[in-house]
Amino acid sequence: MNPVPTDGGPGAQGAAPVLSARSVVQRFGATLALAGVDLDVRSGEVLGLVGANGAGKSTLMAVLAGLLAPTEGRVEIDGSAVTLGTPAAAAAHGIALVPQHVETALVPELSVAENLVLDRIARGELGALPSRRRIRAEARAIAGEELLERAGIRLDDRAGSLRTAQAQQLLIRRALHRGARVLILDEPTAALSVTEQRELHAQVRRLAADGTAVVYITHHLAEFVGLADRVVALREGRVVDEFSTPIEPARLVSAILGPIEHLPDERPVREAGDAVLSLRGLRVRADAPTVDLDLRRGEVLGITGLLGAGKTELLRQVVGAEPLVDGSMTLDGAAFAPEHPADAIARGLGFVPEDRRRDAELPEWDLVRNTTLAELRPHRRFGLLSARSERAATAALIRSLGIVAAGPRALLSSLSGGNRQKVVVARWLAAGSRVLVLDEPFRGVDLGARADIGALIRSSAVEAAIVASSDPEEILEVADRIIVLADGAVAGEFRPDELDEASLAELLVASTEKDPA
């Protein structure tokens, strides 16, 4: 991805802090999430915040955005201590958070217009019973005619129907309309296409140039080059380093992870065997071209393309989560037509869906149940389920995958995003799945977790795997062979040694500008 060139916003020249954390400590029972963090956010700067999953980034942002009250320490606005306590109090001081999962900041069943003015309705600023016309007029003033037209957003649409990029833009506009002086963007490009990422970067630089302070959190370190004025690295709840422009991603990696011998510079491309899974004449939708693919024994097949290319639709048909639109499949040379994911699981397939929060996680279940639920037969003793066997198997996976958790009985909700993703992938290792189908498996995980998950995908325990990702860096890191999809059609096939990240990104953009057939 090509970052937006910049000469730096006003904050790059050392403006006074608008928002500060002073010796902030945050404890959750015996867990020390923040261990005395000091941080300054300056007016008009883009401040990058990095750290491994569990380093304390989300906890720190929750404190600054009024979602958490610090156990110790204080938050300052313009040098004066304040008590935030609630997001509304933070908003009153000009602090706004756009979360990674934008749906958590919207009421999905309400319209776009109602979401834009919801706080004003709650405060009675639009009258006791505001008319639909009044709500729409106020919402249009907040969003702006240009944004609504450019992003294809209609005020009467349900907020739950918005794409991530659309919801993100509305939340940013709503925050700025409320007078936000500090805008916190948490993993803002995790679900965006290459084009949408570039547009967001340009917008961030414009905001900084106008004096807004932007805190930008991402695991994709290359985003900071040309975007951030400063980057602060967290590790184990502490600030371990700070970098100013020019930003060097290699130094960030060292600050985040410490010794990184487990991250290889080169990954050999393996030779594949015969076809394990074959797709013939599949379509991502009825009017799309047909897709023919073979997944070969011993390989990781990468499928990439911009959002909307058809990756998810294709994979969901493969595992029986959606009925076949057209065509046929074979597995080990025999007909394969799963009518339900259970049919695919019974044939040895494991599936990590794109939206793990909605479709794969059971957050209030412990790690034992989350890990073993796909296959309980190995843990049956005389017809009864053995809790000891389940716990031992889960403990072994926690050790082998480096899952950071209090133990097998820890709730999944207590884990960081990267560790939760490891648990979802580990589920299929525990089930003995020999073919893995993974849709955006690295979304929202750090470099270390990405390396661990990639190693699992490529391990001898897995016969073959399909990995779909819209991120060029991710797909080049894990795949032995790369298929580019555009508008539901195969637009090209490559080996990873034929491309680099920049050329693959350009290819993804170019593939949408011509007829892939």
- The per-residue pLDDT for range 411-451, each reduced to its tens digit, is 998 887 778 888 998 899 888 899 999 998 887 677 777 88
Domain endpoint, select from 161, 188, 207: 161
Same domain as 122, residue 16: no
Same domain as 341, residue 301: yes
Q: What is residue 394's predicted lDDT score, i.e. its pLDDT?
A: 93
Is 263's pLDDT higher than 90? no
Rounded to an integer, what distance in angstroms lies between the CA atom of residue 20 and that of residue 58?
16
The better pLDDT of the pair 193, 397 is held by: 397
Q: How many helices (H) does the chain have, and how many strands (E)?
A: 18, 22
Q: What is residue 517's predicted lDDT score, i.e. its pLDDT?
A: 42
Same domain as 65, residue 174: yes
Please state the domain count of the chain. Answer: 3
The better pLDDT of the pair 360, 13 is held by: 360
Same domain as 58, residue 17: yes
In a domain, residue 414? The reply is no
Instruction: Identify the CATH number of the domain in which residue 461 sits.
Output: 3.40.50.300
53-101 pLDDT, tens per residue?
A: 778 888 999 999 999 999 999 999 999 999 988 888 999 999 999 988 8
Rounded to an integer, what distance in angstroms lies between the CA atom of residue 479 and that of residue 454?
9
Rounded to an integer, what distance in angstroms lies between the CA atom of residue 296 and that of residue 201?
38
In a domain, residue 375? The reply is no
Same domain as 136, residue 97: no
Q: Pick the closest to residue 337 from 273, 285, 296, 280 (CA basis).
A: 280
Strands 230-235 and 238-244: antiparallel
Average pLDDT for the chain: 86
In a domain, residue 142? The reply is yes
Same domain as 76, residue 170: yes
In a domain, residue 473? The reply is yes
For residue 472, give the H/E element and its range.
helix 472-478
Same domain as 461, residue 324: yes
Same domain as 85, residue 24: yes
Domain endpoint, select from 208, 227, 257: 257
Same domain as 174, residue 50: yes
Q: What is residue 269's predicted lDDT score, i.e. its pLDDT?
A: 56
Containing structural domain, residue 479: 275-362+433-511
Contact at 8 Å (CB) between 16 and 412? no
SS3 for 313? Answer: helix
Q: How far is CA 368 from CA 53, 236, 325, 393, 436, in A?
A: 21, 25, 36, 8, 21
Same domain as 214, residue 144: no
Does the reported pTM lie above 0.85?
no
Cα angle 63, 68, 70; round to 5: 70
